[in-house]
Amino acid sequence: MPDTLASKIAAGEVVQRPANAVKELVENALDAGAGSIELTVQRAGSELIQVADDGCGMGPEDARGCFGRHATSKLRAFEDLETLRTLGFRGEALASIAAVSRVELKTRRAQDEAGTCIRVHGGDIVESTPCAAPTGTTISVRDLFYNVPARRAFLRTPATEFKHIVETFQALALSHPTVAFCLVHDGTEVYRLPAAGGAEPLAQRVADLFGSRYEGTLVPVAEATSYLSIRGVVGAPEVARRSRGDQYVFANGRYVKSRSLEHAAARAFGALLPDGRYPFLALFLDVDPRHLDVNVHPTKTEVKFDDERGVYSFVGAVVKKGLSEAGLALDLAQTA
Ligand code: ADP
Ligand code: MG
């Protein structure tokens, strides 16, 4: 099977909608150690998704190679998969995105005089030249799915697609409060989030992202065992929402979708939480990578801990303890 065909098929798994591409590109910027990430989107990502970072950049060879299937600089041997700390590792995101769009990459490492500019159309490199570029990487993805009409037709309204992009952006920005982020959509600045410093970067980032909605209501949680550490914040019950929207769980820095862990945290609120409400959560779980399987699905938002039940009950206990320390817990008789 030709490489570009394989990429086009794989693309369907990694990139189902513009928000998926946003996630992959921003994660690459984070893996590159960026201190500042600018996301520019046009027409909800179907016209343009651009991510500019000030991370480590790439040399000319890597810049040409990064669009190849399984071109990853993050996984050298299979054993690395067990100790993985980076967000990416499959080396298929760029190949997949490039297979179904027109990509321009501009990148330069600090030690290189010239940068490299690469253009890839539908997976084929059509231009590769030295160019002037700031240190870091800017990648522009245009006309997503232009060569996969079925996929393009499957896109929802721009409003819906943009909502997914914003949700993805919010999760990524929350996961790295000390990295500056901005989001510009159709020429309008939607977010400009400075790198949060100070004693409580997470609270700062929550305030910058959500305005006053959660101000003064954040309950810190923190606890660790030899297996697992949890830190973060939960919102007080009175700011719990009727939708699941603002529930963020991160496993080793990676945003994960886990109904089970969301449930564990909500359950810990017991009778404090009115029926049909979902608490604000920003919980960071850290485990030895050997205990976490992130290879469950190509989008990497589903993960498995080797002790799911243990993690579930620990999340509940940690949230309960945080609430009680904040003077918010009902006594056990009431929550039972
Ligand atoms: P993965 O992230 O799984 O390694 P990707 O397809 O997302 O695979 O990226 C391929 C490779 O391209 C990465 O391993 C990295 O070496 C390089 N790369 C991609 N984006 C960036 C970036 N923003 N800055 C520096 N290097 C990058
Ligand atoms: Mg990646």
On the CB side of 124, how many CA atoms lie within 13 Å of its CA? 4
Give the ligand at the shortest distance from the Cα of 51: 1
Nearest CA among 99, 97, 87, 103 for reference residue 15: 97
C-beta of 7 in contact with ligand 1 (< 6 A): no
Where do we find the tokens 């609120």?
Answer: 269
pLDDT in tens, 81-95: 555 567 766 678 999
Q: What does the pLDDT read at residue 270?
A: 92
Which tokens go with 24?
């992959």
Q: Strands 180-185 and 36-42: what pairing? A: parallel
Which ligand neighbours the alpha carbon of 106 most closely? 1
| Residue of 31, 39, 53 to mutate, ligand 1, most atoms within 8 A of C-beta | 31
In the chain, what's the furthest Cα-to-Cα distance?
A: 70
Is-contact 192 173, C-beta < 8 A? no
- Give the helix/strand (H/E) hosting 306: none
Q: Is 64 in the pocket of ligand 1 (CB under 6 A)?
A: no
Q: Is the CB of 73 under 6 A from ligand 1?
A: yes
Which domains does the chain possess? 3-193 (3.30.565.10), 201-335 (3.30.230.10)
Residue of minimum CA distance from atom 23 in ligand 1: 29
CA–CA distance, 48 with 42 (Å, rounded to integer): 5
**Under a CB-based contact definition with an 8 Å cutoff, are residues 4 and 122 in contact?**
yes
CA of 127 to the centre of ligand 1 (A): 19
The whole-angstrom separation of Cα 279 and Cα 234 is 7
Which atom of ligand 1 is nearest the CA belonging to 89?
3
Cα–Cα dist 53/33, whole Å = 9
> Whole-prediction pTM value?
0.90
List pLDDT tens digits, range 139-151.
999 999 999 998 8
For 240, list phi and psi in degrees, rounded to 5.
-65, 145
CB 206 within 8 Å of CB 191: no
Q: What is the pLDDT of residues 261-311, one digit of tens each?
A: 999 999 999 999 988 999 999 999 999 888 888 766 766 677 889 999 999
ipTM over 0.90: yes
Check residues 110 and 253 and name the one with the higher pLDDT.
110
